[in-house]
Structure 1
Amino acid sequence: MVRRCPWPSAGSAPTVGTSHEGERMDHQREQQPAPVDRVAIDGGRFPEAEDALLRSSFGLGAAMTADAAVDQVTSPLGALHALSLLRAGAGSTTAAEMDAVLGLPAEHHEAMNALLARMESFDGDPGSVDEEDPPEKPLVHLASAVFVPAAGTTGERFLDTLARHYGAGVHEVDFGDPSTAARIDEWVSRETGGRVGKAPLEVGAGTTLSLLTTVYFAAAWDEPFDPSGTFDQDFLLADGSTVGVPMMHGTRTVRYVAVDGWSGLDLRYGQGFFLRLLLPADGSPARWTGQEFLDMAELLDAAEVVRVDVALPRWDHGFELDLRESLAAVGLSESFGPDADFHAIQPGSVVAGAAQVATITVAEKGTVAAAVTQFAMATSAPMPPEARISFDRPFGYQIVHEETGLPLFLGTVSDPR
């Protein structure tokens, strides 16, 4: 039995089966086939559009991590993916607002398709991952789904776009049935390997559509940290106090930048991805704008590799965010207000809820992270190190796809306990 892949095209990467065959067969019976198959688009065909989406992702990440006083983990990719799906049903001034605020180009569906396609070779089953021993080859699983009322009318062109460019599965449900929430939660748990067990938004009789995207990432470090090198070390909190936390230590050859205002490095996973770590100047918050993220990426992407003594805490964080506030902050007031035009989805429908929940675990062997975004609608002998960096105060981080520069996850650590 082969699991239904979120990109149902002939060029899809093979998927990985699990022992839960009966559960998966039930899932396939429940899920309606997409109106059309997804046709993956080769990367590089829309370079300017892909660059615009990259800029959008960092702008979203900055808005979602605006509160540097708390631990935050978000998925800019998950949010951008969900917004792209929603944009497929936007009309008139709502569509214009989304395009202007998010910098979406005319070919944004094609460009998003191409960006997602670049990660297909890393696809796999989150349920197959041993999180205590992350895989040497990174596993990245992206999925999207739309739950629609069986008795209602949902725009065919909207569903066709979701299927053609995103491979979104369509589920017909009765939102008035209490079991529908459990079905959505089961989908969320399955697509995130159980790391997220429940959708962030409640659904009920007043819900007319639920749109979800998931991002799952698991990867071992290119060079794991030796557990014998982990020991307690002081971490400076934002309020000036210190706490003792387990700190991993190791010398790594990495891209490294130290300039006025911040320092940072790229810590590689097995292939294709790295953890970008950003340490603000002492006394400064771990908070940046989207443009600052892009400027830092430009410097780090071009940096020479040097040997660096790294001290990095372990952390295991979860974070839930009401996206309406973040999206309003970037200028999407009409799109998430009562006057939005989503008639192409359902006549008179508006976004009643928008949320994201994400988790991340960073330890000696590697990293495992997952996120769910939901919109609900209603009506050796070492050379001496050339630098030293200790992430012993609040800092920022990103999990980045090397080929595209796209941030799958972006967050801050204010207290790694």
Structure 2
Amino acid sequence: MKQFRAPVARTVVEPGRYADAEEALRRSAFRLGVALTARPDTNQVSSPVSALYALSMLRAGAGSTTAAEMDLVLGLPVEHHAAMNALLATVQYFDGDPVSVDEEDLPGQPLVHLANAVFVPEGGEIGEAFLATLARYYGAGVHPVDFADPATPGLIDDWVWRETGGRVARAPLAVGADTGLSMLNAVYFAAAWDEPFDASGTGQDPFILVTGTRVLVPTMHGYRWVRYAVGPDWQGIDLPYGGGFFLRLVLPAEGVPPAWDEQELAGIADGLDAAESIRVDLSLPTWEHSLHLDLIGVLAGLGLAKTVGPGADFDAIHPGLRVSGAAQAATITVAEKGTIAAAVTQLAMMTSAPVPPEVSIAFDRPFGYQIIHEDTGLPLFLGTVADPR
């Protein structure tokens, strides 16, 4: 796959240098997380970090009222590119190759892989300042492609497969001849529990569905030392992996859905961050879920209606470009040995005003057809359609 990078070396910003901006981005991630998981009556899995990463890159090409809307709705600070770089610098210490992970023997040292790519039209003119920002702060690879070539979707799918270790097999959005730019972020996580569960202790235990129906599901059991906290209408634990990562599990009170707003999530984080570790008797179901999210409606509902609408200003990327699609595919497996999760967020752009057709024709009444051999002019088939049902 052809690739070039803007002639700018990637910057590594020291964590904590923009502490206030980094905290603002943490709040932005939770804000997106609330929007991405707005249906607590269904199985949901999403990556707020992936969505924030993709939108932060998109912000690099936004101007005028579009930039102002993104900053206001997402709470993006002035130094958000540098702060995003700094915030993820520590996480990137755990980088590795997702393809190398043996899902039957998860790594004791967590593997966290973040990757960005921008697919641009061959010969197209994409703003140099935009590409330079992506190179400097996000290390985004830039891939010139022919979006009209039927092989191009496969090239993008190959990138997605490789950067997620095959956990996400295809890009969330289709591309075609009218695509002007496709930008992707991938996040991959694999880690063993700090103390794995004994598979022999997993049994079929009851689980109460939203409808009140009791079903039997595979459930892990074990005694664990974990941070434990109780709040209004919830209790929760932090179940550790190695390397300073943990799975935060929050159980609402009976009859209360597992849905929290940004402020409530912050309160849960404060409670558990300050909690002491205690020994608990834990019962936790295993699960494996995947989800495909159309983000256009989610982002518009969040307040980014102009950003994803036809009048957005992304002239810094290319005059006339608008967001034509936004989607995320995510998957997670939680079992006795640990957790594997992956997500890909994709933003597609096209020109705002496609060239209008010279003629419009609708075959909405009886018509005739012929199948012609071009060189000889012979009609191989000829017929009429009076009723296409």
Question: Residue 206 of structure 1 corresponds to which residue in structure 2?
Answer: 178
Question: Is the contact between residue 34 and residue 167 of structure 1 (CA under 8 Å) also seen in structure 2?
Answer: no
- Contact residue 192 and residue 216 of structure 1 kept, 8 A: yes
Partners of 2:207 and 2:77 lie apart in 1 by 43
Question: Please, which of 82, 85, 89 is the counterpart of residue 110 of structure 1?
Answer: 82
Tell me the equivalent position of 2:322: 350
Cα distance between partner residues in 2 of 1:78 and 1:267: 22
Do the aligned residues in 1 keep the contact of 2:228 with 2:238 (CA within 8 Å)?
A: yes
Q: Which amino acid aligns with 1:178?
A: P
Provide Cα deviations, 1:243-262, integer angstroms capped at 9, x if missing partner: 10010001111110123300
Aligned mate of 2:16, from 9, 26, 44: 44
4+ runs deviating over 6 angstroms: none
For residue 34 of structure 1, report the CA deviation from its aligned partner.
3.8
State the match for 1:217 in structure 2. 189
Q: How many residues align?
A: 351
Return the alpha-carbon distance in structure 2 between the equivalents of residues 259 and 343 of structure 1.
Answer: 47
Query: Which amino acid in the other structure matches residue 56 of structure 1?
Result: S
- Gap regions ≥5 residues in structure 2: 352-389
What's the counterpart of residue 274 of structure 2?
A: 302
Cα distance in 1 between the residues matched to 2:115 and 2:228: 33
Identity of aligned residues (%): 64
Match of 2:100 in 1: 128
CA distance in 2, matches of 1:310, 1:209: 47
**Structure 1 match to 2:45:** 73
Aligned partner letter, 1:296: I
Asked if 1 retains the 8 angstrom alpha-carbon contact of 2:36 and 2:298, the reply is: yes
8 Å Cα contact 1:127-1:193 kept in structure 2: yes
Normalised TM-score (structure 1): 0.83
Task: Report the Cα distance in structure 1 between the residues aligned to 2:210 and 2:109, rounded to whole angstroms.
Answer: 36
Instruction: Report the Cα distance in structure 1 between the residues aligned to 2:6 and 2:242, rounded to whole angstroms.
Output: 34
Q: Report how far residue 242 of structure 1 moved.
A: 1.1
2:335 to 349, 356, 363: 363
2:289 pairs, out of 306, 317, 342, with 317
AA at the equivalent of 1:258: V
How far apart in 1 are the matches of 2:90 and 2:293? Answer: 28
Q: What does the per-residue CA deviation read over 1:138-160, in whole Å, with 9 as the maximum and x for residues that have no partner?
A: 00000000000012110000000
Distance 1:36 1:179 in 2: 30
- Aligned positions of 1:195-344 closer than 5 A: 195-344=167-316
Q: Deviations over 1:111-156 (max 9, x none)?
A: 0010121112100000000012110000000000000001211000
Q: Distance in 1 between matches of 2:4 and 2:88?
A: 22
Using the alignment, how far apart are the partners of 1:173 and 1:144 within structure 2? 16
Of residues 156, 163, 166 in structure 2, which corresponds to 1:194?
166
- Which amino acid counterpart does residue 50 of structure 1 have in structure 2? E
Rounded Cα–Cα distance in structure 1 between residues aligned with 2:9 and 2:244: 27
How far apart, in 2, do the equivalents of 1:360 and 1:286 lie?
18
Q: Deviations over 1:331-375 (max 9, x none)?
A: 111100011000001100000000000000000000000000000
Alpha-carbon contact 1:201-1:355 (below 8 Å) kept: yes
Q: Which residue of 1 aligns with 2:363?
A: none
The answer to whether the 8 A contact 1:154-1:346 is kept is yes
Deviation at 1:279, TM superposition (A): 0.5
Aligned counterparts of 1:260 and 1:112: Cα–Cα separation in 2: 32
The answer as to whether partners of 1:192 and 1:370 remain within 8 angstroms in 2 is: yes
Partner amino acid, structure 1, of 2:238: D
Q: 1:191-250 deviations in whole A, cap 9, x for unaligned?
A: 000110100100000100000000000000000001111100000000110110010001
State TM-score, norm by structure 2. 0.89
- AA in 1 matched with 2:221: H
User: 1:211 and 1:169 mapped to 2: Cα distance?
Assistant: 10
Q: Structure 1 residue 56 and structure 2 residue 56: aligned?
A: no
Matched residues in 2 for 1:121 and 1:48: separation? 22
Paired with 1:138 and 1:53, the residues of 2 have a C-alpha distance of 23
**Contact map agreement 1:143 1:213 (CA 8 A) in 2:** yes
Q: Give 1 or 2 for the bigger CA radius of gyration.
A: 2
Deviation, 1:95, is: 0.1
Alignment-mate amino acid for residue 248 of structure 2: R
How far residue 293 of structure 1 moved from its aligned partner, in angstroms, is 0.8
Shift of 1:269: 0.2
**Which one scores higher on RCO, CA 8 angstroms, separation ≥ 6?**
1
Q: Identify the match of residue 114 of structure 2 among 142, 159, 170.
A: 142
- How far apart, in 2, do the equivalents of 1:107 and 1:39 lie? 14
Residue 86 of structure 1 and its aligned partner are, at CA, apart by 0.1
Q: Which letter maps to 1:130?
A: D
1:103 deviates by: 0.5
What's the counterpart of residue 6 of structure 1? none
2:45–2:291 contact (8 Å) kept in structure 1 = yes
Letter in 1 for 2:172: P
Query: 2:218, 2:288 → 1: CA distance?
Result: 12
Q: Partners in 1 of 2:343 and 2:263 — Cα distance? A: 24
Following superposition, the deviation at residue 35 of structure 1 comes to: 2.7
